[in-house]
Structure 1
Amino acid sequence: FSNCSPLKSLRIFVHPFDHPFAQALSEHPAATEDAQKACLFISFTNTETPDYPPSWNSLSEPGMNHVLVNLNGEISITPKGKEMIVQAHFQKGAFRSNMDLSLSPDVDSFDNTTWQTRPSIMILKRLNDYVLVVDFLDAHDSKIPQIQCFDDCFTSLLSSSYCLLPPSRTFHTRLLSALRAACIPVVLSTTQPLPFQDLLDWRLASFRFAPSMIPCIPEMLEELDKEDVLELRRRGKVFLARIDDAQALSKSLVAALFERVQISLELFPEVKSNLIVPNGENTNTTFTSPRIQSRTGKYKYTSNNLYSRVRWNSGRDLAYSPRSLHDAPPMPGDAAMYEGTRENIIGPIRLGLTRDAEQFTVIILAYNRDEGVKNIIDTLRDCPHLNKVLIVWGNLERRPNGAWPEIHVPVEFILAERDSLLSRFVPYHRIETDAVVSMDDDAGLGQQELIFAFRMWRENRDRIVGFAERLHRINKGQVYYERIFTCQYSMVLTSFAIFHKEFLYEFTYNQHPSILEHIDANFNCEDIAMNFLISHLTRRPPLKILKKESKRNGSKKGLSVRPDHETKRSECIRLFAQIYGYNPLL
């Protein structure tokens, strides 16, 4: 890896090859078409005698800085130099755990409709408790039934709870089939390499036993609680999403290379904000309040150390290095006592003794209710901890009208690229804080309630913290969206809520395309989708803050008054749960 500098972002050069995985890698953000700028070179083969590219001997030793991907699961290749090998099967003793990767690279391109054929994790009892998935049927005394599997046997495994997988040349094909069928893998080998096993903790999604333990396995697995079974299946869905298709596998492979060579990927791209001014007037330039920016990009190097395994195993996007992380730990309780840790904690208005002082950005999605937005801005005047107000203007036919209030912080207007509810969850480059307060243009608020919610969020950065709660309810075997004002809730509406900026990146780059398409087609449910995403990634419920008084800002009522509003939102919950393979709401 001598050609790679840790002070630059990772760059890969992908040699052309006619295969979906090669195409996906060539489209990865780290890929470059200029071989002179690359520090790693990826080439492909489907024969036992690879055609080595010209760059093979360009460095001091053959194969140095090269990754050779074997797309043919029927053969096994061995290194001829210093190259890293990626393939499904290695000869006995040939796998180098610090160099090679054992997985199936022969996968298809991402299919936006695949979720329609995948099972839910929720059917606890299946027709078969156990099945032994083998290349060739074999007479044996075990009571465990056998299924012969040469290729993808996904359909055959749908009726089984546990898939016992002995090692063989087709092991990774059978592993993919088991995960796709939500059948918990039981690996019958103590040495069989698993995909990205130094990054994915396969103990969370599978079992591993020696072959001699086969007679005992059924009795051992019968002791599992239902919660454990469902969590194993859920985590199996997360791990499958790392290797299921060419696009997912390309992200995982490049992220694994980044871990190996200790060279960071590029930071998550922020969306450039198209700033506009009301009716051509330049307003709010006299702000005087001191502003604190979050330390964007500070996790570029620690993301592959402190936080890497959590990101890999929770399902977060791997294509980029994170700009900010919701799970960055607080400092010890006496941090305010010591030089070097106390300077940014102690201030005129304390927010706690274990984190530096910070502020929040208010984002208001607006369309026609100018006066309502002006009322919100007026209410925010002199609000402590406020960094900036961003108004995402969704009306592409006109600009905001009239004079707008000037307050102690900047008020900026961003023209949305299109009229979409998704515009409220875009990671705009003008957002300079970790804390994001999402508001509708008819939100009613009090400053003290907002400040209290901000304090609660600082202690619960992995949750949506807000005021308007909703519940998904089960009735006669069907899921419904309801407004029940009791102590029960599983969602907090983003019409007035606080969440971490990291989730804007995840929503934009990691949310399933079918969900985004459904939101645009129905102009509804973007807040449900955000609740789904955060609960899926963190396994934490939202946090409701009780409002002392109900306020409105004078705006007319919005989308929620439509007669079919709750019906459509019930449909969203059902659809999103089908796409995720389960309902992550807690």
Structure 2
Amino acid sequence: MSTLIAIRDAALTAGGEYSPAKEKAANRGIYNGRSPLLHRRVKQLLGGLKFKLLFCLSLLCLVVWFSSKIGPFMGWDPDLSSSISVPNRGSYTVLINTWKRNSLLKQSVAHYASCSGTDAIHVIWSESDPPSDQLRAHLKNIVLKKSQTAHKPNFRFDLNEEDNLNNRFKPISDLRTDAIFSVDDDVIVPCRTLDFSFTVWQSAPHTMVGFVPRMHWLDEEKNGMAHYKYGGWWSVWWMGTYSMVLTKAAFFHQKYLDLYTNKMPSSIHDYVMRERNCEDIAMSLLVANATDTPPIWVKGKIYEIGSSGISSLNGHSDKRNKCLNDFVSLYGTMPLVSTNVKAVEARNEWFW
């Protein structure tokens, strides 16, 4: 009470009015000087900013750590598709099957020479007349001009004495890559898409990785034996499953060239040569039989630059059905494995 009376008396003596606020300020010792209060406010503000800054830095570190962990877990390195031109990341050999379509062959060679992952281009030539010197020189010049890397792809024709679809899978003795990209002369796969599919193949190098899926299913049993149906694109689209990728645009390991030519039953070779069809089904069965795993379908746009092929001919589906069942009977079992997995480059997708 004495303190309160003293403050009141001092205020009245000075000619001022008594104020509880002034009294409170006097008790706290800061009424006549605002600097201590300002100093405390600044300290409080700085303390809050330090806390927020520390929180943000901690959150950033957590995000970086989580990203580093989830990347390998998901199995995808987002930089792989853009950096495969680095020599130690590997490269592939492009195997182009052609038949009397030099204009398409020129376009195809020019395109694949421009892809950074191409180590070599081999043209499978099965015509009775060898390629002219003019065509050879022209294609070699195209390769040199179109290549975007310091290392220019090796280019050559692989000549065959007879017209035989088995020629496209003959072993090549001096290959420098494990990866083979088998493609028809009228199929163009954009380089970025091709490079992405190569990284997919690197994750599973003993299976086939391609862009053209096909399927099979058990149709019925005849005389106690299973009978299968061969399904084209619309069957794959409708059923959401597949068990083959066609070698008109597919990666596989170079060891399968030797297995196809030297280990597969000669009766299958004879069948392919006689029917002029189904070498791609034979290769799919071979790989599935060797690995007991399905192929991998890569989603990506490909372009067919030529006129319709044999798939557009009447009776094509029936012939493929017959091939499939005849090959299965020669194997004595159905080696194909079905799957519904599809490899997609996530950066090109709106939704995961």
For Structure 1 versus Structure 2, the TM-score category normalised by the shorter chain is: 0.5 to 0.7
Contact in 2 for aligned 1:396/1:415 (Cα 8 Å): no
Runs of 5+ in structure 2 lacking a partner?
1-79, 148-152, 222-226, 338-352
Report the equivalent of 1:535: 288
- The yes-or-no answer on 1:422 pairing with 2:166 is yes
Deviations, residues 247-266 of structure 1 (Å, cap 9, x unaligned): xxxxxxxxxxxxxxxxxxxx
Give the distance between the partners of 1:518 and 1:470, measured in 2 at CA: 20
Q: TM-score, normalised by structure 2?
A: 0.63
Tell me which residue corresponds to 2:27.
none
What corresponds to 2:186 in structure 1?
442
| Paired residue type of 2:281 | I
| Number of corresponding residues | 238
Aligned pair in 2 of structure 1 residues 539, 356: CA closer, same or farther (>3 Å)?
Answer: farther
User: Which residue of 307, 314, 319 corresponds with 1:556?
Assistant: 307
RMSD value, Cα: 2.5
- Structure 2 partner of 1:452: 196
Counterpart in the other structure of 1:521: 274
Aligned with 1:380 (options 91, 103, 112): 112
2:244 aligned residue: 491
How far has the Cα of 1:356 moved from its partner?
4.6
1:509 to 256, 262, 266: 262
Contact 1:421 1:523 in 2 (8 A): yes
Q: Deviations over 1:422-476 (max 9, x none)?
A: 1110112242210000011111211111001100000011110000011112224
State whether residues 519 and 526 of structure 1, in contact with CA within 8 Å, keep that contact through their aligned partners in structure 2: yes
Structure with greater helix share of residues = 2
Other structure's SS at 1:470 match = strand
1:58 is matched with none
What is the SS of the residue equivalent to 2:322?
A: helix
**Corresponding residue of 1:360:** 92
Structure 1 Cα separation of the partners of residues 81 and 197 of structure 2: 19
For residue 188 of structure 2, give the secondary structure of its aligned residue in structure 1: coil
8 Å Cα contact 2:81/2:192 also seen in 1: no
1:348 to 1:530, Cα distance in 2 relative to 1, 3 A: closer
Any idea what SS the aligned residue of 1:372 has?
A: helix
Deviations, residues 96-147 of structure 1 (Å, cap 9, x unaligned):
xxxxxxxxxxxxxxxxxxxxxxxxxxxxxxxxxxxxxxxxxxxxxxxxxxxx
Greater relative CO, 1 or 2 (CA 8 Å, sep 6+): 2
Letter of the structure 1 residue corresponding to residue 262 of structure 2? Y
Q: Residues of 1 paired with 2:96 and 2:206: CA distance?
A: 22
Structure 2 counterparts to residues 1-80 of structure 1, below 5 A? none
In percent, how many aligned pairs have the same letter? 28
Q: Residues 348 and 458 from structure 1, CA distance in 2 versus in 1: closer, same or farther, beyond 3 angstroms?
A: closer
SS of 1:514's equivalent in the other structure is: helix
The one of 313, 324, 328 equivalent to 1:577 is 328
SS in 1 for 2:303: coil
SS at 2:89 equivalent: coil
Task: Say if 1:378 and 1:580 are closer, same or farther in 2 by CA, change over 3 A.
Answer: same
User: Aligned partners of 1:416 and 1:496: how far apart in 2?
Assistant: 21
Distance 2:81 2:331 in 1: 45
Deviations 1:353-398 (A, max 9, x none): 9x95211000111111111111112222431121011001111135
- Separation in 2 of the partners of 1:428 and 1:348? 27
Q: Which amino acid aligns with 2:317?
A: E
Aligned pairs for 1:20-419 within 5 A: 350-351=83-84, 356-399=88-131, 402=135, 403-404=138-139, 405-407=142-144, 408=147, 409-419=153-163
Cα distance in 1 for partners of 2:127, 2:309 equals 15
Q: Deviations over 1:12-35 (max 9, x none)?
A: xxxxxxxxxxxxxxxxxxxxxxxx
Alpha-carbon distance between aligned partners in 2 of 1:451 and 1:348, rounded to the nearest angstrom = 6
CA contact (8 A) 2:84 2:195 kept: no
Q: Which residue of 2 aligns with 1:44?
A: none
Cα drift, residue 558 of structure 1? 2.0
The alpha-carbon distance between structure 1 residues 348 and 425, as it changes in their structure 2 partners (threshold 3 A), is closer
User: Could you give the per-residue CA deviations for residues 495-537 of structure 1, whole angstroms, max 9, x where no partner exists?
Assistant: 0000001111111111011111101110111111111111011
Distance 2:191 2:236 in 1: 23
Does the C-alpha gap of structure 1 residues 462 and 406 become closer, same or farther in structure 2, counting only changes over 3 Å? Answer: closer
CA contact (8 A) 2:94 2:112 kept: no
Kindly state the Cα deviation for residue 489 of structure 1 after the two structures are TM-superposed. Answer: 0.6
Match of 1:91? none
Indicate the SS of the match to 2:251.
Answer: strand
The answer for the alignment partner of 1:200 in structure 2 is none
Counterpart amino acid of residue 369 in structure 1: R
Aligned match of 1:463: 207
Partner of 2:230: 481
User: Structure 1 residues 449, 535: closer, same or farther in 2, change over 3 A?
Assistant: same
